Amino acid sequence: MAIHYAHDSEHVVLITIDRPETRNAADMEHFKLLREAWDRFRDDDQAWVAIITGTGESFFSGADLKTYIPEITKLSKQITQGGATEINGYRLDDGSKAVLRNYELNKPVIAAVNGFCTAGGMEMLGGTDIRVACPEAKFAVMEPKRGLFAGGGTTVRLPRQISWPLAMEFLLCADLIPAQRAHEMGLLNAVVPREQLLDTAREFAQRIVVNAPLAVQATKQSALAGLYHDEDEIKTVRSAIKSIAATLEDDSEIKRILNQLAKNLRTAFENESKLANEIFATEDAKEGPKAFAEKRAPRWAAR
């Protein structure tokens, strides 16, 4: 098993991503295991704080594209054809839940970033609360360099968590950013020597667990509600519009307008998913990975 889960006697859980042979990228099985680790932490009343880290030179690099894309495509067809919500424990949303996107978790999570944090690593980092890194760690939202789109939450979370111009530097330049610069940008709480990384994360955890756990969880819940208030508000309005439209019998034009309004209303995360689907269908989305594999500069067509 490459997702390790260790619960100590002081209410702290350590989750370790251990696939150094893939730079800690996840196939379908390991996205499932990571989601299950978060579920286990969420549901255990004696687990108050989680630390997430990686092994080797990478923290987490998201999907193992060589295996994950064909796996999830096959699963999607099986679920669609069979009308099931999961098959053999695998779900279509394992990937998004694993990176804490649209995942309700009010318990604190500390990231101990031991190396490269790219793609799904950046997505998951946005779902953590306190972040420490070693000097060797590097951070990037590199999808635009490949003609792709970071559709796992980063384009929504990052501009709400650090200042707008610095978030745009991250997102639009798509550079690999060293840990010290990431700290200056407000992405990290601390940069410490590699040998002190987990000890520092545990020190933060100990500072949290001395507090009342329910008060801590309510505090995080309130903070998240303020940061992402539009998610619930839009869903509530959309639901109300659908309910009103369903009661109309005679005025088909008003009903059509209401249905269209409900369809157009999207939360920030839903809009991110829509844009991701559009970008992944472009010619540039095929050219970027191809150019990377062929070790040449991409020839963008802007279509």
Q: Catalogue the active-site residues.
A: 123, 143
The residue type at 107: K
Task: Work out the burial of residue 201: count CB atoms within 10 Å of its CB; fewer than 13 is exposed, 13-18 middle, 19 or more buried.
Answer: buried
Instruction: Please give the C-alpha separations between residue 6 and each of 108, 193, 214, in angstroms, as whole numbers.
Output: 16, 23, 22
Location of structure tokens 């996840």? 26
DSSP 115-145: SEEETHHHHHHTT-SEEEE-TT-EEE--GGG
Instruction: Please give the C-alpha separations between residue 187 and each of 55, 128, 159, in angstroms, as whole numbers.
Output: 21, 11, 11
- Cα–Cα nearest to 134, from 39, 37, 56: 56
